[in-house]
Amino acid sequence: MRILAIGDIVGENGVRKLKQELPRIRQEKNIDFVIVNAENSAGGMGITTKIFEDLLDLNVDAITMGNHTWGKKDIFSFIDHPKLLRPANYSKGVVGKGLGIYECKNKKIAVINLIGRTDMNVLSENPFTVANDLVNQVIGDVDMIFIDFHAEATAEKIAMGLYLDGKITALYGTHTHVQTADEHILENGTAYITDIGMTGPKNSVIGMDPTASIKRFVTSLPERYKLAEGDCILNGCIFETNDENCRVEKIIRINMR
């Protein structure tokens, strides 16, 4: 099987880029299952009903979120949709879910969404203990487990990969919007990449207008971010698994500029 994970969609232009490219990628690369991170899809913060419906129309299989999960109030009207996942280590009792189990080609695929705690400014439960509990909950009942770890610190992501090595199929990072070139299979068989990148404006500072971003760094004064305009890139990663043992045999980065 081939599972495609698409990096953080940034803004409506990022959504448009996904609409343009996903059908072709799906056909040319023989994609079976698609996971998309959409926490920045609506104006750079959150997701709206329209964008959510657009993603459903693209037959996306799972939609993950992150620190901007609650950026648009629309989400409360579809938070319980089976395809939508918010970080599983948000505080107990929060609406929504962080684990979804889906069927594809007679395989059961578990998708888990987690958020990091290092430099994230989000109060959350320990992602390591939550991940361990969820993996132990589904292991043996599913064929594959994929984790979108939405985190800032590369060290936290690497540590999580090693912590779960051999227990899950793949762990990939999101949030930093810059695709890393460290894709590899860990010692015990888990596929890993620190960040799969973003789908959004190419001439930008991680999706935002460069002028506002540079001004913040130069002056140290507050400046409202705004989305960049222009052509978009599409970043993602294909995990190719062995149909017999459901282990990842090949990791293919996608960087469409």
- Residues with active-site annotation: 68
Where do runs of H (alpha helix) occur along the chain? 11-28, 49-57, 127-138, 154-164, 210-219
CA dihedral 198→200→204→205, nearest 10 degrees, is -30
Burial group, residue 58, by CB count within 10 angstroms (0-12, 13-18, 19+): middle
Residue entry with tokens 């998708």: 111
Distance of CA 60 to the CA centre of its chain: 12
Name 108's bridge partners.
103
Q: Give the number of residues written for the chain.
A: 257
Q: Which of 103, 69, 102 is nearest to 83 (CA)?
A: 102
Q: Cα(192)–Cα(76) distance, rounded to whole angstroms?
A: 32
